[in-house]
Amino acid sequence: MKLVKIPDQKNVAVVEGEEISTAAYLQELNRALYMVTSQYGVDWNDPQNLAPLPALQEQVLDQIITRVVLRQLASKEGVSIDSKDVETETVALQGRVQQSGQFADWATFLKENSLTDESVRSLIADNLLSDAMNKRHAATTSAEQVHASHILVATQETGQEVLDKLAQGAAFADLAAQYSTDTGSKDQGGDLGWFPRGVMVSAFEQAAFSLEPGKVSQLVQTDFGYHIILVQEKAVRELEPALYQQVQQQFFQAWIEEQQAKMKIERLYTFASPK
């Protein structure tokens, strides 16, 4: 029994006329399987571990398609990577591999990761290209943000009890310390600090951004439980570096997906469950 079903055809996809060969796909798939096996110690003799394999195969193909899309978009914008930068990164990677002590030598690293010198340089070039395009298509560094506090409880009944006490004049911070199950914020009166859109779960975000400063929400249910939200302030502010990185990742991914939707992409194979 083979772990994965291998396409018996020359190509697995075509992106705007550029073919993605089955051979190139298999090299990426083998590398992904090696990483999963080495990182998580997966026992492929366990039939239960075979069920996620088709999804992994699709994910690998998705990643290859995205890289091809990015190369084509970069070419249209006249963005390219200097071969000297690729070589510098390659030498740095070779040094890290040697220092890790995990592999006998560079050749062993390549073999165990289903790589070649050429494919390593190609992956590094793609990463550098992604960084360059990321900078060209950057989100603004400021955004509408909310400074909010919340009280998180497990049940609707407890949430209503908290709302009743707030209506009777109890302090929000005191009730957060007493009731909230969010250990990261309860001792700060439930204070979550400032955050932009795209950081919190959808229902929480919608409630927080719809409230005016000084107002308290009704119960907002999410997968975490029931929230009572107090909006303290609203403003357009510069994003903190960590938040900006998160927002930029989402912004760039959305841009890639938008461009990809306009392109002719043919997937020539759908991966079925192994038998």
Q: What is the mean pLDDT of residues 256-275?
A: 86
Q: What is the mean pLDDT of residues 3-12?
A: 85
Confidence of residue 272 (pLDDT cuts 50, 70, 90): low
- Say which range, 47-56, 97-106, 198-207, has the weakest mean pLDDT: 47-56
Confidence of residue 85 (pLDDT cuts 50, 70, 90): very high
For residue 140, what is the DSSP state? Answer: P
Quick check: 45 pLDDT over 70? Answer: yes
Give the global pTM.
Answer: 0.75
- How do residues 57-72 score in pLDDT, each as one tens digit? 999 999 999 999 999 9
CA atoms within 13 A on the CB side of 198: 16
Token representation of residue 240: 């903190």
- Phi-psi sector, 262: left (phi>0), alpha (psi -120 to 50), beta: alpha
CA distance 84 to 67: 21
Please provide the average confidence, as pLDDT, over all residues in the chain: 93
CA distance 221 to 218: 10
* Residue 127 pLDDT: 96
Q: What is the mean pLDDT of residues 191-218?
A: 95
Q: What is the mean pLDDT of residues 100-114?
A: 91
* Residue 242 pLDDT: 87
* Residue 273 pLDDT: 56
Quick check: 255 pLDDT over 80? Answer: yes
Q: Where are the beta strands (DSSP E) in the chain?
A: 11-15, 18-21, 142-153, 191-196, 220-222, 225-238, 265-267
Sheet with 18-21: list strands edge to edge.
18-21, 11-15, 265-267
Q: What is the mean pLDDT of residues 78-94?
A: 97
| Strongest mean pLDDT among 48-57, 106-115, 221-230, 245-254 | 221-230
- Residue labelled with tokens 């308290």: 216
- How do residues 164-194 score in pLDDT, each as one tens digit? 999 999 999 999 999 999 999 999 999 999 9
